Amino acid sequence: MTTTSRLGADQAPAPPASYAPQILPATTTMSAVTLHAADLNRLAAYYREALGLMDVATDNPSTGASRGEAGRIVLGSGNTRLVVLEHTPDLPLARPGQAGLFHTALL
């Protein structure tokens, strides 16, 4: 006994009639996400090694500091800025019961 699907291999079931997706205009963009870090260089190293992001800008325009000694590091792909890392040396630790971590997906 063989069973076959009523749908072809290249067809997916249609969503329910009540499903009304919100379609964003094609011109919609997203800016880089900003993350605060007590150890700026360590976090930047993670994004470079784990995700292959590259330095897009490392100079802090307000102080002239580079490579994140005092300020920020901007990482991305090509000329596209994806992550801005802001040096926040007095960043408090998460309290018990707090996540202390928020997720950003880079797809």
What sign results for the dihedral spanned by CA atoms 90, 96, 98, 102? positive
One-letter identity of residue 72: R
Digitized pLDDT (tens) for each residue of the chain, 107 residues in all: 444 555 555 666 666 666 666 777 878 777 888 998 888 899 999 999 999 999 987 555 544 444 444 588 999 998 889 999 999 888 887 788 877 666 666 65
**DSSP, residue by residue, 6-61:** SS-TT--PPPPTT----PPPTT---PPEEEEESSHHHHHHHHHHHH--EEEE---T
Is the full-model pTM beyond 0.85?
no
Structure confidence by residue, pLDDT tens digits, 87-105? 988 888 778 887 766 666 6
Q: What pLDDT does 99 receive? A: 72
What sign results for the dihedral spanned by CA atoms 65, 66, 67, 71? positive
Q: Which two tokens stand for residue 101?
A: 């971590």
Q: What pLDDT does 103 receive? A: 64
